[in-house]
Each structure stands twice: as structure tokens, then as C-alpha cells.
Structure 1
């Protein structure tokens, strides 16, 4: 099959030569696809406004030796609500980096694709930090990496009291007694642990009614970014930009 069509979302873009772009597309049926869009940077190119980060569209592709070639692209959505807001854009870039890290080529990735599509819609209109906290938990659950939160991952005793900890190395929560077993464990409240479990099963379209304190958002962000980096075996670079952006806003 040399020619094929697929629905997808562009999750990575880089300029190539003077007129081309190389993109990574998260598709439903073919997983992660890398393709070249020839001539898309030319002023009169029909693809110029479509070959951009987060474009959701229908792509006609020609299978090459190393890269596919985009022969046609019909845009469905470009999410202007994200592009026009620096915070939303930063969180969307973070989401795309995580998706790029976990998505694989040549496999059915329909659940991952639809999670990405729903979260892009929500990032356009809802609290972006809340959306990303939900995305982090849901992608871990979807990929079979959901952390152990029902009891202490080290001793097996119930997580009780006000304070707990989360160990990325051990893959779950630690009770107060066992929190010292991992020096790198992130200290958090038990309420944050319970919120992680709630996010794993909450209806994403009803996120706005979920009551999450700023402290919970911060703790979940610290926990999940560390945990995701552990699973990917690399630091998520866009997370550093989000932190620097938050520091500027807090000091402004």
C-alpha cells in the first residue's frame, strides 16, 4: 500500500530546506507517522496554513523509504483558542511532547488519538492546567502505567492521615512511615492521592465541575511530570518552560 489516507493530529513540526516541513502525525489507525510536506512553506502553497502544530485533519500520504510524503491535507480544526493564548499553547506543546514520546508507529492508536483530540478541545476553553493534569493521569492509565494508589506500594498498608508521598521509581504512593524509603519521593497530601484516582475515571467533558485546589494541581503536576519522565526515561523539556512561565506570572 503506497497511497493511503488517515485522520490525524500534527504533534511535531520542524522546517526542512527552504520550502518544506517534516511533521509527526498522531493517527488513529497507523500510530505515529513521520512525513514530509513538500513546498508547504511557499507563499502560494495550499498546505501553508495547514501544516502546523495541532492541526487536526485528513491526510493523504505516499509511503516512502524513510518518510511518508503528504500529498494532500484537508483541515478539520486548528484550535485557534490555543494558538491565541500563551498558557494554553505552552500546555498543548507539553501534551504534544508527551504524546510524541509514547506513541508508536504502525499500530492502532485510536484511544490515544481520541484522548489527544478531546484534550485539545478542552484546552481551548477550560482551565488548561486542570486539563493537563487530567491528561497526564489518563494517558498513564491508557498505556497501562497507572500508578498504584490504593495502598502503600512499599509495605501494603492503607494510605491514611493527612500526608503521603509518591515514588516514581516504585510506581505509586507511600505511607508516611515508608516515605523515607525513596529520597526522591514527592511529598503530597492524601487528598492529592485521592484526586489522582478520581481523575483516572472522571468524565473529561465534566472537568469544570471537579473541585481541585491550586495546591492539588501543583502536587499532581510535580508527581506526574516526574512519573512520566521516569517512564519515558528522559526529561520533558516543555515542562521547564511551563515552570518558568509560571514563575514570571507569579512575580509579575
Structure 2
């Protein structure tokens, strides 16, 4: 099949990741509105006068045209949809986490327009609200949208409901809560405490409206406990450490 016969995909896209490729090119991963995650090469994008290279930046919102290739797709054109707002280092760090999570938890070319909208809303909200909470909320919503959501209402071993007042633990390996009665069965299995406040915070973040959030008092202990559980669980699901978390730790956020 000649290049002219291969499918040309045109779509709105949010740029998740960009890196240099070969001598003068860029490799990019985007999440598009109608085609899901796309990977492609932008040939010549590192040349100073190449407009596509200047536009192809992390978190940019673009309209792209991508030509399918035999081994890898290539960028034919792109144009800016919305002028990006400047981010401080903290916002950039959390935006990188949201983007990397999207890249590792989604499959290539699986249309999820609702996820495209959700990512765009999260990137906008982290510049207006607490970025730590926004990205945790996005991570929880992303797990649900991609079918990876853990079990948070019943014990994954015995199936009994875990009440709001009951002590519980989280098993990243089993993918959900472990009740007090079943805890001894999983000793040495990497269980993490998952208290009532942590579970309540998780549920609040899962329903968080970025534009009009409902009032909620976030306690530091529950927040740190949830972060530890959530990112450990994501690692178990993907078997890939998140590079963006290293950036966060370096900023001592």
C-alpha cells in the first residue's frame, strides 16, 4: 500500500509526551478526541524554522493530521487549538503525572472521547485549584474509565461489605480492600493501611467536580495514605514506575 493510500487521521489532541528522535525529529504521544492514544514521528520537527516542532509541546491542545505508516505513523500537520497558559514548576510536575498516567493506562487507538474531555478539564483545573488533589482525582477517575478501578466497598477475599467505621487494609496485588477478619491471610503481602478517612477522601475525589467542588476537609494523614496506596496500586497494574513522580520528589512537593 502506497503512502497516499494509507489512512489520514485528523483529530483534536492533547500532547502527553514528546522526546527527541534521531537527528532532527520528534516522537510524540497524544490522546485524541475520536481516536484515543496515538503515537507518531514528527519528521524535521527539531529544525528551528519548523512550526510543527514549536507547537508540539507537552500539554498542548492541537488539531493534528497523522498519516498511518507501515512501522510508525507520522505527523503531516498540526495547528494550535488553544493558546496554552503558563504553568509554574509545581503545576508542570502534576500535569506530567496526569499525562504519564494517561499514556500508561490507555491502549493505542481505543476511542474514549469522555477521557479526552476529562484530561482537558483536569489540566485546566490544576492551574486554578490544588494540583495535588486535582491529579489524584484524575488518577482515580482514569482507573475507573480504563477498567482498573479497585474494590473499595467489599473485602476482595471474603466478599463482605466493609463499613465506614471498620478498619481495613488495601492489597495492591489483590486489587482492593482486605477486612480485619481476613488480614492475617495476607500478612507479608504488602498490605497498606486504608483507614475510614482515606476511603472517604477516595470517594470524594472520585466524584470531584473541578469547577464546583463540594466542601470537604482534607486531612494530611489520609491524603498521604491515599497517595501511597494509589501509586503503589498503579505500579502493580502497569509494572512501570512513573518517571514523573521522581520529578515531583525532586521538587520536594
Structure 1 residues 159, 208: CA separation in 2 closer, same or farther (over 3 Å shift)? closer
Does residue 87 of the first structure (1) align with residue 90 of the second (2)? yes
Does residue 203 of the first structure (1) align with residue 209 of the second (2)? yes
Equivalents in 2 of 1:187, 1:45: separation in Å? 52
Unaligned runs of 5+ in 2: 1-5
Does residue 24 of the first structure (1) align with residue 29 of the second (2)? yes
Equivalents in 2 of 1:160, 1:6: separation in Å? 44
- Structure 1 runs (4+) deviating above 6 angstroms are none
Does residue 172 of the first structure (1) align with residue 176 of the second (2)? yes
Alignment of 1:48-127 (within 5 A): 48-77=53-82, 79-82=84-87, 85-127=88-130
Q: Which residue of 1 aligns with 2:3?
A: none
8 Å CA contact 2:165, 2:196 repeated in 1:
yes
C-alpha displacement at 1:228, in angstroms?
A: 1.1
Q: Look up the SS of the partner of 2:248 in the other structure.
A: helix
8 Å CA contact 1:149, 1:193 repeated in 2:
yes
Equivalents in 1 of 2:50, 2:172: separation in Å? 47
For residues 125-173 of structure 1, the C-alpha deviation after alignment (integer angstroms, 9 at most, x for no partner) is 2111001110111011112222211233233153354643211112112
Does residue 36 of the first structure (1) align with residue 41 of the second (2)? yes
Equivalents in 2 of 1:126, 1:181: separation in Å? 41
Equivalents in 2 of 1:4, 1:235: separation in Å? 31
8 Å CA contact 2:153, 2:161 repeated in 1:
no
Structure 1 residues 107, 178: CA separation in 2 closer, same or farther (over 3 Å shift)? same
Cα RMSD over matched residues?
2.1
Equivalents in 2 of 1:15, 1:158: separation in Å? 49
C-alpha displacement at 1:39, in angstroms?
A: 2.0
Does residue 230 of the first structure (1) align with residue 236 of the second (2)? yes
Q: Look up the SS of the partner of 1:178 in the other structure.
A: helix
Equivalents in 2 of 1:158, 1:52: separation in Å? 45
Structure 1 residues 211, 61: CA separation in 2 closer, same or farther (over 3 Å shift)? same
C-alpha displacement at 1:208, in angstroms?
A: 7.3
Unaligned runs of 5+ in 1: none
TM-score if structure 1 supplies the norm length?
0.88
Aligned length: 245
